[in-house]
Amino acid sequence: MSVLTMFIPLFKRRLGALSLTLLLSVVTLASGIALLGTSGWFITATALTTLGLGFNLFVPSAMVRAFSFVRILARYGERFVGHNATLKLLSDLRGWLFGALFPRLPLADRSIRHGDIVSRLTADIDALDVAFLVAVGPMLGALLIGTVMTVVLALLLPGAAIIYGACIGLAAIAVPVILVLVARKAGRDTVLAAADARIAVYDAINGHADLTILGVLGSAHARFNDIAERLRDRRLLLAALTSGAAVLVQFLAALALVGTLWQGLAAQEAGTLDPAVLVGLVLAVLGSFEATGVIVRSVGKSLAAFAAAERLNALTQVPPAIVEPAHPKPFPTDHSVTLSDVHFSYDAGAPVLKGVTLTMAQGERIAIAGPSGGGKSTLLHLLLRLAEPHCGTIRIGTTRLSDIKSSEVHAHIALLSQDSPVFIDTIRNNLRVARAAADDEALWQALAVARLDTFVASLPQGLDTVVGESGRTLSAGQMRRLCLARTLLSQASIILLDEPTDALDRANEIAFFETLRAATVGKTVIMVTHADVPPGTVDRVVEMRNGTIRD
């Protein structure tokens, strides 16, 4: 539960609205109880009165009407304020997550890779936002209501106060706490089983071709079924525990009611309690268990919120990949690149780079060829300061790369990777990711260099055409060109390309390389590729094998 403390600052910012929600929910519950209690008292009093038409009708009927309207208004207010606070919290959470993620990129790393990270993050955020409204709110509300009712009983019917107080205390505190303790493992198992099911689908779809070829679709499907059945069983266990707790709470409500009735009848018989007050109290007790009814279900839901909090929390525990220099130096004007004897490995794994030495003059264009997985992409990441070499140095001009702030590095070195995304947004906004202030002229120029201008001009909405995701508007080749245009727009003087033509067929690949040659005149270009590069595209091809470069 301690992971929830993580999010306390976020909740604190919305403390006012959340408290108001709580207050309104308590008012709603209290007026409901008062409505029932007053009604019970009222009809009993009228039934027993000998005054006939002389009975003071005005006060009780006014109270009944007042409680009704207070209840309606309070409920409306509670829902409105509560949803507003929740939605604000959700905005905060999204912002917080982005803020926490950026310095920790790239997340390509080991600890966090369960199924599709993205859908997991969105699901976790959504699970967390209800944490207050579904768990904390009702529990506090029930406690407040229970305390007030116990005090009222203590004043009017002391014998019942003990029974009632014990029952509502057990229902509002003990049962939820026991449920959390008992169901925590079941809750975590459920989350784990769901994560496993995610991975199983992911594996089955990604490996579909291989599974088909090997003729083992049956096993793959059976494996998923086992996990899906485990998920089902875990959830059923969790549901059984939650339902059991709900039954317990209702038993306690029954005990409180019958106990109050018993004590009340005894007091009435003894003449120490007015019959009308007795009926009013019994009905009020009955009404007060509306408050505990939702607790158990909320606790069940909050178990998922805890798991989500734990996983989001894990993200913020990942240490940032690099340390920014204490006394940063400016990005040099000499854009030559020198790598001397660079070594690197991920975590404690096998070395990926084993002594890379490479010198590039300013404005030179080279291609790094060689088997994929040989460390080429890692090399580009080091050049972008997304990770630090274990030993050896990288210099731009004569300045060590590690002496330059990473934001400076990114302003001067741009990457076009094989999975550079086209965002779900207009073409204009997709381009402006690279340079927010770029005017249309600059955008068209970049599109022209990437040879996409004619196509974009032919679209009815031109630069305002929404693209991305399904990629219906753009072909794979056009998407690459859009990403190239974006990269060029950034005005970086060193351009890194990581398998830029991986998703293209050969005809598109050749066309892309031709565009590239024209588009990068005067820039330093490092391109990692295993494609056949047409002559003239680059000045030099070096080969990288087993983590070393042979010039």
| Window 231 to 290, contacts with other proteins (CB under 8 A) | 231-232, 235-236, 239-240, 242-244, 246-247, 250-251, 253-255, 257-258, 261-262, 265-266, 268-269, 275, 278-279, 282-283, 286
Please tell me the number of Cα atoms within 13 Å of 172 on its side-chain side: 23
The single residue among 168, 183, 211, 467 that binds other proteins, judged by CB under 8 A, is 211
CB of 212 to other proteins, least distance (A): 5
Kindly tell me which residue out of 8, 59, 105, 323 binds other proteins, with binding defined by CB under 8 A: 105
Of 15 and 213, CB closest to other proteins = 213
Contact 282, 257 (CB under 8 A): yes
Work out whether 357 is an interface residue with other proteins (CB under 8 A).
no
Give the largest Cα separation in the chain, rounded: 111
**Site residues (CB under 8 A) for other proteins, limited to 480-499:** 490
Specify the residue, 79 or 517, whose C-beta has the smaller distance to other proteins.
79
**Other C-beta atoms lying within 10 Å of the C-beta of residue 247:** 12
Convert 207-241 into a string of H (helix), E (strand) and C (coil).
CHHHHHHHCCHHHHHHHHHHHHHHHHHHHHHHHHH
Quick one: which of 62, 125, 117 has its CA closest to 96?
125
Position 198 contacts other proteins (CB under 8 A): yes
- What residues have CB less than 8 Å from 183, skipping those under 6 apart? 238, 241, 242, 300, 303
* Residue choice 16, 99, 158, 320 for contact with other proteins (CB under 8 A): 99
Q: Which of 91, 359, 393, 461 binds other proteins (CB under 8 A)?
A: 91
Helix (H/G/I), strand (E/B), else coil: 548? strand
Nearer to other proteins, 240 or 518 (CB): 240
Tell me how far CA of residue 489 lies from CA of 383, 444, 471, 502, 517, in angstroms: 20, 10, 22, 22, 16
Is residue 412 close enough to count as binding other proteins by CB under 8 A?
no
Q: Which is nearer to other proteins, 250 or 338 (CB)?
A: 250
Under rule CB under 8 A, residue 12 binds other proteins:
no
Question: Beta strands 466-467 and 337-345: pairing type?
Answer: unpaired
H or E element, residue 498: strand 494-498
Question: Measured between alpha carbons, how far is 276 from 174 in angstroms, rounded to an integer?
Answer: 33
Q: Which stretch binds other proteins (CB under 8 A): 162-170, 175-183, 456-464, 528-536?
A: 528-536
Residue 92 touches other proteins, criterion: CB under 8 A: yes
Member of 178, 202, 340, 354 binding other proteins (CB under 8 A): 202
Residue with tokens 């003729």: 215
User: Is-contact 199 226, C-beta < 8 A?
Assistant: no
Please pick, from the candidates 169, 207, 363, 392, the single residue that binds other proteins as defined by CB under 8 A.
Answer: 207
**Residues numbered 46-65 forming contacts with other proteins, rule: CB under 8 A:** 46-49, 51-53, 55, 57, 60-61, 64-65
Q: Which lies closer to other proteins via its Cβ, residue 244 or residue 332?
A: 244
| Distance set, CA 422 to CA 349, 442, 450, 493, 526 (Å) | 33, 19, 15, 22, 22
Binding mask 364-393 for other proteins (x = CB under 8 A): -------xxxxx--------x-x-------
230 vs 517 by CB, closer to other proteins: 230
DSSP lists the bridge partners of residue 524 as 494
Quote the DSSP letter at residue 329.
P
Contact region with other proteins (CB under 8 A), list: 151-159, 183-191, 410-418, 514-522: 410-418
In the complex, what is the shortest distance from the CB of residue 2 to other proteins, in angstroms, rounded to a whole number?
26
**Contact with other proteins (CB under 8 A): which of 4, 26, 34, 121?**
121
Determine if 110 is a binding residue for other proteins (CB under 8 A).
yes
- 532 binds other proteins per the rule CB under 8 A: yes
Query: What stretch of H or E contains 400?
Result: strand 399-400
Tell me whether residue 147 or residue 207 sits nearer to other proteins (CB atom): 207
Per rule CB under 8 A, is residue 225 in the interface with other proteins?
yes
Q: Looking at 13, 221, 390, 400, which residue binds other proteins (CB under 8 A)?
A: 221
Q: Dihedral sign, CA of 206, 208, 213, 217? A: positive
35 binds other proteins (CB under 8 A): yes
At position 380, the amino acid (one-letter code) is L
259 touches 161 (CB < 8 A): no
226 is a contact residue toward other proteins (CB under 8 A): no
Q: If binding is defined by CB under 8 A, does position 314 make contact with other proteins?
A: no
Q: In what order do the strands lie in the sheet with 351-360?
A: 351-360, 337-345, 391-396, 399-400
- Does residue 468 belong to the site contacting other proteins (CB under 8 A)? yes
Cα–Cα distance for residue pair 551/538, rounded to 1 Å: 14
Q: What is the DSSP letter of 54?
A: G
CA atoms in the 13 A half-sphere facing the CB of 539: 15
Q: Quote the distance between the C-alpha of residue 139 and its chain's center.
A: 25
Residue 196 beta carbon to other proteins: minimum distance, rounded to whole angstroms: 9
CA distance 470 to 263: 69
| Shortest separation between residue 384's beta carbon and other proteins, angstroms | 7
**Cβ proximity to other proteins, 162 vs 216, nearer residue:** 216
Q: How far is CA 41 from CA 68, 239, 277, 287, 520, in A?
A: 16, 39, 6, 14, 87
Contact window for other proteins (CB under 8 A) among 5-13, 111-119, 127-135, 393-401:
111-119
Interface with other proteins (CB under 8 A), residue total: 155
Span 419-438, contacts to other proteins by CB under 8 A: 420-421, 423-425, 433-434, 436
Q: Is 42 in the site for other proteins (CB under 8 A)?
A: yes
Please identify, using beta-carbon distances, which residue of 397 and 421 lies nearer to other proteins. 421
Please report how close the Cβ of residue 477 comes to other proteins at its closest, in angstroms.
Answer: 12
- Among 92-100, 153-161, 335-343, 395-403, which window interacts with other proteins (CB under 8 A)? 92-100
> In terms of CB distance, is 224 or 340 closer to other proteins?
224
